[in-house]
A and B are shown apart, each in its own frame.
Chain A
Amino acid sequence: MFIPAKLRIACALVVATQALAGCATVSIDLPSDFLVLERDAEARELRAATADEARVWVREHDAPPGAELPFWRKALMRDLVDARGYTVLEEHDVKDATGREGVELLCEATLGGVPHRYLLAVFVLPTAFPTFFDDTIRTVEYAAEKDVFETHLAAVRAGIKAMR
């Protein structure tokens, strides 16, 4: 079967672009209070923790293509609030350094009798080729015991805003 040269080049570019996108490491700027425990390019994630056990977990997940932020916001609320029983204290829009829009949820929940607070920022990175590839969901999670949470909240939020 004859495939025109231009089409072959285009296909190769698509595959290369997606491959490069997959290899890109996730990163977030955090103050020195946080120690980066793991930066896994393969798994597209980064974990960091403070001495007082506040934790930041940045990840990229595959998700079915086509869904936009409002869809995921609704699905998240259903799972976190209705199914798990989290209490949402704040919910608002955020933007990263590239101007990409996301959503930030600030929740509270008690686990094992210890009240915790949990921040989740979600960004949707849609694929250019939905027929072949999934969308990417980038999440930034920050969790800490309630008393500790406020200590690092501003730094984590600043890190989210500076993400690319």
Chain B
Amino acid sequence: MLLARLQLSPSPRIARRAITRAPWTNVATLALLVGTSGCASMASDFAPMPRAYESENEMMPREPGGGGMFAGAMRSSAAPKSARRMAVMADAVGGESLADEDVMDGASVPVAAEPAEPATPAEPSSPGTKRLIIYTANYRVQVADTTNAIDTFVAEVEALGGFMSQRQNAQVTVRVPAASFDAMLARLPQMGTILSRQVQSLDVTADFLDVQLRLDTALKSRARLAALLERAEKMEDILRIEAEVRRLTEEIEVMKGRLRLLSDQIAFSTITVDFMKDAPEVTPLNQQRRSRFGWIRRVGLERILSDF
């Protein structure tokens, strides 16, 4: 009531008078104001939460232009630029750490090498940190000729620097440089009718930096043990240190492998396309969310084939 009176009061003077005339209600008003301001701050705390995982799963046989909601989100957020990502990873592992390269799945994949200086990875949540994101997509596309479509698709992937990683009947999985992910997805609606589309982005920044940090720590520990090993004289000490070095080395290899895998998945997005010659089977009547309009329920392929 007091709040209502205050809001309706024509001037601050009248409002002040209302407060002085109702001292008990002042306390309640203050409590209410504090309470509501608390709610507001809670809401604003939640608002800027970074989205660690985004996905789009859409059944969309129309919209031949492709793109859609996810394409917009991709453009507005961190676009998949492999070159930029490599720079980010280089920053994260201490500048020169990407000098070593391994070959995985036929592609050149940057590998985090042992840093000479202790790395100081940035906090994943700090505003300046760029995100490391793995993009994957699953499409079902109806085409006139599946073999021809697969050949065309794979040829275009290879032209963009990607490669085919798996093919099973009319389903093909390809890896494309992250920078070409959008371009490749935009190409699919031109090849046929999109029956379904699922695109996911997984933010692995925290995971990557965490593994990197643990790797740095393990490397430093191993270096210290190596120094101790040189000074050790007792056989018992030597055996214990060597056992610890072996354990650490195994851990280091596992972490390197994890970093290598993440680097590969970040640098090369995965697209799986199921090419189909015919449209899928119609949803059974009892599973359909039917229209409320009678005439719409009375038309359709099922009706013309059964009630004709």
CB-based contact A87/B195 at 8 Å: yes
Give CA–CA (A159, B122) in the complex, Å. Answer: 69
Residues of B with C-beta under 8 A to A80: 300
Q: A22 CB to closest chain B CB, in angstroms?
A: 15
CB-based contact B299/A85 at 8 Å: no
A24 touches B (CB below 8 Å):
no
A29 touches B (CB below 8 Å):
no
Give CA–CA (A76, B283) in the complex, Å. Answer: 15
Q: Is the interface of B mostly helix, strand, loop or mixed?
A: loop
Contacts known (A57-B304, A80-B300); A87 close to B289, Cβ less than 8 A: no
A49 touches B (CB below 8 Å):
yes
Give CA–CA (A84, B308) in the complex, Å. Answer: 19
A154 touches B (CB below 8 Å):
no
CB-based contact B304/A89 at 8 Å: no
Residues of B with C-beta under 8 A to A111: 281-282, 301-302, 305
B106 touches A (CB below 8 Å):
no
Q: B194 CB to closest chain A CB, in angstroms?
A: 9
Within 8 A of B (CB), among A69-122: 72, 75-89, 91, 107-111, 113, 115-116, 118, 120
A164 touches B (CB below 8 Å):
no
Chain A contact-residue range equals 35 or more
B278 touches A (CB below 8 Å):
yes
Residues of B with C-beta under 8 A to A79: 290-291, 296-297, 300
Q: Is the interface of A mostly helix, strand, loop or mixed?
A: strand
Specify the chain B residue showing the minimal Cβ separation from A57.
Answer: B304
Query: How does the 8 Å CB contact mask read for A49-70 relative to B, with 1 for contact and 0 for none?
Result: 1000001010101111000000
B295 touches A (CB below 8 Å):
yes
CB-based contact B61/A141 at 8 Å: no
Question: What are 20 A-B residue pairs whose CB atoms fall within 8 Å in the complex?
Answer: A47-B308, A49-B308, A55-B305, A61-B298, A63-B293, A79-B290, A80-B300, A83-B290, A83-B291, A84-B282, A84-B283, A87-B193, A88-B61, A107-B279, A108-B279, A109-B279, A109-B280, A110-B278, A110-B280, A115-B279
9 nearest CB pairs, A to B: A61-B295, A115-B278, A108-B279, A87-B279, A79-B291, A85-B283, A83-B288, A87-B61, A118-B301
Chain B: residues with CB nearer than 8 A to chain A? Answer: 59, 61-62, 142, 193, 195, 278-283, 288-291, 293-302, 304-305, 308
